[in-house]
Structure 1
Amino acid sequence: MKKVFLFVFASILISSCSIESKPINYGTDACDFCKMSIVDQIHGAEIVTSKGKVYKFDAIECMINYSNEMSKEQPQLFLTNHYHTPKELINAETASFLISENLPSPMGEFITAFENESLAQEAQKKHDGKVYTWKALVEQQSK
């Protein structure tokens, strides 16, 4: 009996610290930064900490602002929805971003994620704006 209890306890402990995203429940979940409902399926985002805690956001700029204020917890993953496959979360650190006033976002910063640079550049031709890497976007938003 003790072995079964230890196995169950160890399994719960291991699974509770997994580093993975959780689905955003659009229309139900609230942004951990601005507290607005997350309804836009193109601009949602998540941070997963090194302890497996998931924070959800209605916009990329909310995720960046929240990460700048995090003191104790270490972000492990930055994830974002993207333009071509709404609801799908991709790694923000490998995505490309377009800031274009012709592509509105929930918080008015006009930031939209794309799976890669060529897709962002293609959208830039259509919508104008400027393309950023994750690192450049974080630097630009932190000014």
Structure 2
Amino acid sequence: MKKHITLLFIMLNGSIGCSVGPKPIDYGHVGCHYCSMTIVDKQHAAQLVTKKGKVFNFDAIECMMNQLKDEGESAMALFLVNDFGQPGELVDATKATYLISENIPSPMGEYLSAFTNEEAAKETMTKQGGELYTWTEIKNKFKL
């Protein structure tokens, strides 16, 4: 009986340790998985989470896209980007609206920002200029 309880505990502990979900980015202390720059910009950071629960943080959306180009999307469970209008808040990248505007610099120089709300993206584009993209369009732009 004691052996069965120990085995059950090990199994439960293992399943809890492999949860698939986003993890907070430790801004100013953690480096970008792709370019190794310290992540400080709360408006442009991004995160990938694999199907096994491994988390990769990026200082810019373009670093995440370049990582996807190198490794592909099939092993990923979550694609997350920071909402430009709500710094530090990770949102579903597949549902975001993207703005490329030379008036809004991003850490790696692609001028790429993400918005949860399409209206907020349009309003920012009206003020800052640029062009809007969907997830599919931005993937095509990065040749994924």
Shared fold (TM-score greater than 0.5)?
yes
Kindly tell me the number of residue pairs found equivalent between the two proteins.
143
Letter of the 1:43 partner, please give it. Answer: H
The residue aligned with 2:106 is 105
Q: TM-score when scaled to structure 1? A: 0.94
Alignment partners' CA distance in 1, 2:131 and 2:74: 31
Name the residue aligned to 2:15: 14
In structure 1, runs of 5+ residues without a counterpart are none
Tell me the CA shift for residue 73 of structure 1: 6.6
Partner of 2:33: 32
Where do 5+ consecutive residues of structure 2 fail to align? none
CA RMSD in angstroms comes to: 1.6
**Runs of 4+ off more than 4 Å:** none
- The 8 Å contact of residues 67 and 75 in structure 1, kept in 2 or not, is answered as no
In structure 2, the residue matched to 1:41 is 42
The answer to whether 1:137 aligns with 2:138 is yes
CA distance in structure 2 between the partners assigned to 1:71 and 1:60 by the alignment:
15
Q: What's the TM-score once normalised by structure 2's chain length?
A: 0.93
- The 3-state SS of whatever aligns with 1:136 is helix
Identity of aligned residues (%): 43
**Does structure 1 residue 63 correspond to structure 2 residue 64?**
yes
Name the amino acid aligned to 2:66.
Answer: N
The one-character-per-residue Cα deviations of 1:39-85 (angstroms, maximum 9, x if unpaired) are 00111100001111110000000001001111697011100111111
